[in-house]
Amino acid sequence: MKSKNLFKIDPLKSFTELLVFRIIIISSLLLSLVSTLLIISNSNLIWNLDYIGFNSFVEIFKVPLSILALAITSIAIIATIHRSSQIKEQILSANKQNTFSNYFKHIEEFEKYMKVVIPTKNYNLENLRFTHKYLFPYAFDGNYSINQEFLSIINNRFSKIKDLLNKFNLERTETVSDLLFEIYSEIDYNFSVLHIKCLRSGTQIVQDSKRIVVPSKNIFAIMNDIKSTSLIIIHIIAFDPQVEIPSPLYQVANLIISKEVPNWNFQSTNKFENFVHFDIVTHKKDFVK
């Protein structure tokens, strides 16, 4: 048996069950008994029950009595350490229980929140437990910060969406259909990693055997849908009150469509108008809800 195990103070055991307690008791008694027997056997002692005899007893058996006194002091110290260990274990156990309870409470509140902020007629919440596990991978350990990997995806994907929207005002070779196909491909991917499926009905655009549905043929309605879809993602990640919303997501959610945008059918013409404009939002308080 290793020496460190001899002196291990297990808070889950009672004090009298501790090995170190038993070692001190047994060794102290043995040492005291042996030293007492040696003193008696090597001394011409006479019984004297008056005060002189009792005072002499203390003097004669000073060593055995000191051994017992040292044992009592050691036991008192170990008892204090054992009690401290028990208190520490109780605190850790309570913290674990609180973390466990808070974890499931967090899931419960997240599921309620998602069902409020996401219109179920437009989105299929395939498995909110998976969604929660992905968004908050360290929640079971008490860390409720949102997944940085997802924030990075959002930042990259919405940077691309912003660039695609800006092409409406630039020289380009793509058609409106090309741009919308790419924009909604990015949007759908953002939801797919969250185990959420978009249930849009509308116009299908097919490229390389892949089908993307846009909610309307009207370009004005499509732009507003892109804004509202971006706002849904902001609401999802805002469940973490400390989260920093990626700037490109803010910009797309705050897309300002000029009053001059015509209500034309993107399939009937490839004509582009200057109507897309971005306000750079840098603070949460500036976000138009």
**How far are the Cα atoms of 10, 168, 186, 268, 283 from residue 265, in angstroms, in the given order?**
76, 15, 22, 5, 35
Average pLDDT over residues 20-42: 82
For the chain, the residue count is 289
Q: 260 vs 98, which has greater pLDDT?
A: 98
pLDDT at 172: 66
Q: pLDDT higher for 234 or 79?
A: 234
| Residue 240 pLDDT greater than 90, yes or no | yes
If you average pLDDT over residues 221-230, what whole number do you get? Answer: 90
CB 120 within 8 A of CB 198: no
* Token pair in block for residue 149: 């990997």
Q: Are β-strands 203-207 and 196-198 bridged in parallel, bridged antiparallel, or unpaired?
A: unpaired
Mean pLDDT of 256-266: 63
Return the top range by mean pLDDT from 19-33, 140-154, 199-213, 269-283.
Answer: 140-154
Question: Residue 220 has which token pair?
Answer: 């004005």
